[in-house]
Amino acid sequence: MNEATTPPLAAPEPSAINLDNHPCFNKDACSSYGRIHLPVAPKCNIQCNYCNRDFDCVNESRPGVTSSVLSPGQALTYLGKVMDSRDDIAVVGIAGPGDPFANPEATMETFRLVRKNYPKMILCLSTNGLGLTEDYVKELAELQVSHVTITMNGTDPEIAGKVYAWARHNKRIYRNRQAGELMIEKQLQAIKWIKQYGMIAKVNSIIVPTVNDEHIPEIAKTVSDLGADIMNCIPLLPTAETAFEHLPEPDAKMRFALRVKCGEHMNQMTHCARCRADAVGRLGQQNTEEIQDLIKSCARLPLNPHESRPYVAVATREGMLVNQHLGEARQFTLFAIDPEDEEEFITVDTRMAPAPGGRDDRWASLGETLKDCRAVLVSAAGSTPKQSLSDTGIQVIEMEGMIEAGLMHLFHGAELPPSLKRSFQGCGMGITCGGDGTGCG
């Protein structure tokens, strides 16, 4: 986890949280109350055939899109700054940009921090249900996460299997009908737990013409029988570079007819705004440039912003360029802001890397060696060392080129030129990875 585990909390009194102020579940609240989504969950355990999680595309308003990914500590700082500037935020949600329970540690720690600091806040989340366990559901209820959304696109394995390119569970890849069977089993069980522990259950179903459009009323009947409270039939948004990019977007007639049929079984939501994973404000409002700048600035803070970490470590051969893989670096050069000229940087130390070998212990040892560093600049790094260093509060930045560019980015908020960015990721690990679920060789 990126933040020291928060101690157990006494749940707020139910009367302290006004659930009527949730704009997604109460249409009458839309004009008065807004929400904020905290993008702390970048990994995903499935690949939907309609999803392309483009990174940092401010003109895109759809699920899976965010300007930055935050640690739980950064997210709390970001939330505080937003709350200082607005008085209409009634809901804090986590909806990606991947899946909250492909990132359970970050998801749960963020909810703990928010509940501790904002005891009257409505908390909600949206998940595909695959990674949701009873233990997580129980803690969500203890934290008074009041609303949980499950995105479910079929109750027939053949139909559901057409929606997913793959699903990954317990290190095994499922495809086609097997993926459909797995997702249905996990999603139906998740709804049962959500209702068992007293939370409001919403089911999102994406209307995919020729794939599941005629089947969606059966989803409504099935989940209604389990006690789900409301359904949101969301029209497919054809997105470039996805398997469903050439399918038509459902027209108003199809949407209306489906909502009428599904409405025979359960209440229907009709005012969905297809929110981004970092949405802020009232439904239908686009994120402002100020919000985009704010979230990016918070993403450059130390992973645990309350800690003093004045240095940045760099894997470099000659002291000018970032040009070494994390695993091959034998030493790291540490940089800080020059106290006599804040626009300049100085070298403050050189530290030896732990000896190769030792598996995960090596990365924990490196985290201790660099414990006063907010980040480390490397040309590439694998997912295991990145996670291990993140757990010790160190952000791993992958880039190649002038060290100064990376330091300007971290210390002064300058954009890191796209030509310098690098990314070494396995399937489901990053925002833009569409992959086949088997990882990168």
Domains of the chain: 14-299 (3.20.20.70), 311-420 (3.30.420.130)
What would the mean pLDDT of 420-435 be, rounded to a whole number? 53
| Alpha-carbon gap, residue 108 to 161, rounded angstroms | 29
Residue 292 burial by CB count (10 A; 0-12/13-18/19+): exposed, middle or buried?
Answer: middle
Calculate mean pLDDT across residues 293-320.
90
Say which residue, 64 or 122, is predicted with more confidence.
122
The per-residue pLDDT for 197 is 95
| pLDDT value, residue 417 | 84
Q: Is 218's pLDDT higher than 90?
A: yes
- pLDDT above 60 (res 70): yes
pLDDT (0 to 100) of residue 384: 87
Q: 226 phi and psi, to 5 degrees?
A: -90, -5
Q: Which of 411, 394, 383 is nearest to 332 (CA)?
A: 394
pLDDT at 129: 95
**Full-model pTM:** 0.81
Dihedral sign, CA of 226, 227, 233, 239? Answer: negative
In this model, does residue 99 exceed pLDDT 70?
yes
Among 8-22, 290-304, 308-322, 376-390, the least confident range:
8-22
Over residues 409-413, the mean pLDDT reads 88
φ, ψ of residue 2 to 5 degrees: the values are -85, -10
pLDDT of residue 80: 94
**Taking residues 376-395, what's their average pLDDT?**
91
41 beta partners: 97
Residue 2, pLDDT > 50, answer: no
Please report which confidence band the pLDDT of residue 163 belongs to, taking 50, 70 and 90 as the band edges.
Answer: very high
pLDDT of residue 73: 94
Q: Identify the pLDDT of residue 4.
A: 45
Whether 95 has a pLDDT exceeding 70, the answer reads: yes
Average pLDDT for 410-425: 78
Max avg pLDDT among 19-33, 289-303, 339-353:
339-353
**Which of 45-59, 61-75, 204-218 is predicted most confidently?**
204-218
pLDDT confidence of 373, banded at 50, 70, 90? Answer: very high
Phi, psi of 439 (to 5 degrees): 90, 170
pLDDT at 424 over 80: no
